[in-house]
Chain A
Amino acid sequence: MVSTDIGIWVGALLTLGILSYFTSGKQNIAFRFAQSTVLGISIGYIIVLVFVKQLNSLAISKIAAGNIIYIIPIIIGLLMYSKFVPQYRYLARIPIAWVVALGLGLGARGTLQSNIMIQIMSTAKLPIVGVDLFTTFSNIIYIISLVSTIVFFFFTLNPKMQQTLKPVSTLGRYFLMVFFGITFGSTFMSRVTLIVGVVQMLIQKWLGL
């Protein structure tokens, strides 16, 4: 039975508006209307939620409770708007520098361990003997691909050494190509998923089939 929910109808008609792109391969009025509506609603909603809810719970309510120190991030944040006043636009560098420094600092925390140390340790611990044949084969391939791919990214070797390691480097290039192929295939799979979701919504929720 066809849905009587107005929300489902709006969603279905906007979806059909977006899909109308495929009839001609060009943008048309239905496509542009749906696109602008979705973008407008999303951005409007996010702005309201961030300004009203987040600013209130993360800063204003804390200042109201006596934590005056929370006024500092608000001032730093407001400096971002100094870009609109030409003679004070340099002040916008302060919040930008703050954000960049914070990002770097937080990113550094744990990165050395998670992306380097633990990865090296787990590779070193890979069992070659005492496991089933498939695991042995798989782990040998893993180690060969790791070493050859690292060699591929050695750009500062002297020419003689570079020539010697060329077969290993070429093997690394092939492993990278396999990786890119798998990544492309799985990305394609995830994109196809989107059309499956859209069709499911139209068939089951809208048309009730």
Chain B
Amino acid sequence: MSFLLNIDRRIIWITVVALTVLPFLVPIGLPIGVEKITRDYYNEIEALPPGAKVVINMDIEAGNVAQYAGQAIATLGRLFEKDLKIIQIVFYRADCAVIFENVVLAEVDQGDYEYGVDWVNMGFLEGREAAYLAFAGDFMYPVNDHYGNSLEDLPLMEEMKSMDDVDLYITVAGLSQLAIRQFVIPYGMPMIVATGVQHLVSLKPDMDAGLIKGALGGIPGAAQYELLLGKPGKTIQKLDALSLIHMFIIVLVATTNIAHYLYADKGRKT
């Protein structure tokens, strides 16, 4: 067992890669439980009547695609299915607009949705918190949409003029604290978030306080949401890979600690 104390790190990396590859080649289908926050997220969207107005913010960076793409695709797909009026906007960085276009929108079936009438892609709006403030009060503030069309020429903008006209705000990978300050508190806007698992802990007080109505956390959240929608997709395979890697790391931590206790400490005493 003492060999564990001098294990070559490349063996760990190769094992991690092998465990990641396995579920994509041989589907495993480990059991998945649905958390309350995921169910709340699902219920908030399901409660919207046809024609309800939604603003969705997708701040997905290239490096975070693995974590957020599943959430984004499942959520946007559901919004298109439910016959809602949608505005999509990016607040974080210009390249997030490209990710939305090529990774999320390309994977979603838009059905008979008509651009400009049923949904609008605002693209990236520079200014961080100042942009949140300006946009909340006047949706025409960006002047043009992502494709260069004048917002004045898009019929949907007649129906959606400010946050006062919106029924639900959804942020995927966005800065939820800014949205709470500029949308939720001033406009009483219901907000749900799709975020990384590492952010769920810090969002918990906001969820308990009712500022965030529901949340998806990373790949597990996306997989649970796909299950609730009855459309298990690629995210389930990702979750299997994630679970296998976690099991491996737990075993590694436990065995190396035992080995350390048995051998390394003895060495130190002598």
Contacts and interface: CB of A to CB of B under 8 A. Distances in A.
Interface of A: 22-23, 25, 38, 42, 45-46, 49-50, 53-54, 57-58, 61-62, 102-103, 106-107, 109-111, 113-114, 118-119, 121-122, 179, 182-183, 186-190, 192-200, 203-204, 209
Given A46-B93, A119-B205, A119-B209, A192 B245 contact: yes
A42 B62 contact: yes
Contacts, number: 149
A62 B246 CA distance: 53
A179 B198 CA distance: 12
A209 B197 CA distance: 28
A110 B65 CA distance: 31
Nearest to B69: A197
A54 B126 contact: yes
A58 B142 CA distance: 6
Given A25-B9, A57-B142, A103-B129, A203 B21 contact: yes
Given A54-B126, A179-B201, A193-B197, 6 more contacts: A45-B98, A53-B124, A62-B143, A109-B182, A114-B184, A190-B218
21 contacts: A53-B123, A54-B94, A54-B125, A57-B142, A61-B144, A118-B209, A118-B211, A119-B209, A183-B201, A186-B198, A187-B198, A190-B198, A192-B245, A193-B218, A194-B67, A197-B67, A197-B238, A200-B237, A203-B24, A204-B24, A204-B234
A118 B184 CA distance: 12
Interface string B83-99: 00000000001110110
B94 A196 contact: no
A114 B19 CA distance: 42
Nearest to A19: B17
Main secondary structure, interface of B, reads helix
Interface residues of B, number: 60
Contacts of B63: 194
B104 interface: no
B45 to A, nearest CB: 23
A109 B181 contact: yes
A167 to B, nearest CB: 25
B246 A199 contact: no
Given A179-B201, A186-B197, A22 B143 contact: no
A197 B126 contact: no
Sorted nearest first, the 6 A-B pairs with minimum C-beta distance are A197-B66, A110-B181, A110-B185, A122-B209, A49-B94, A54-B126
A113 B210 CA distance: 13
B20 A196 contact: yes
Nearest to B219: A193
B94 A50 contact: yes
Given A22-B13, A114-B206, A196-B219, A190 B94 contact: no
B25 A209 contact: yes
A45 B94 contact: yes
Interface string B12-45: 0100110011001100000000000000000000
Nearest to A54: B126
Given A118-B209, A203-B24, A198 B142 contact: no
B258 interface: no
Nearest to B126: A54
B245 A114 contact: no
Contact of A189 (B210, B211, B246): B246
Contacts of A182: 201
B60 to A, nearest CB: 11
Nearest to A42: B95
Nearest to B102: A7
A192 B242 contact: yes
Nearest to B184: A114
A199 B95 contact: no
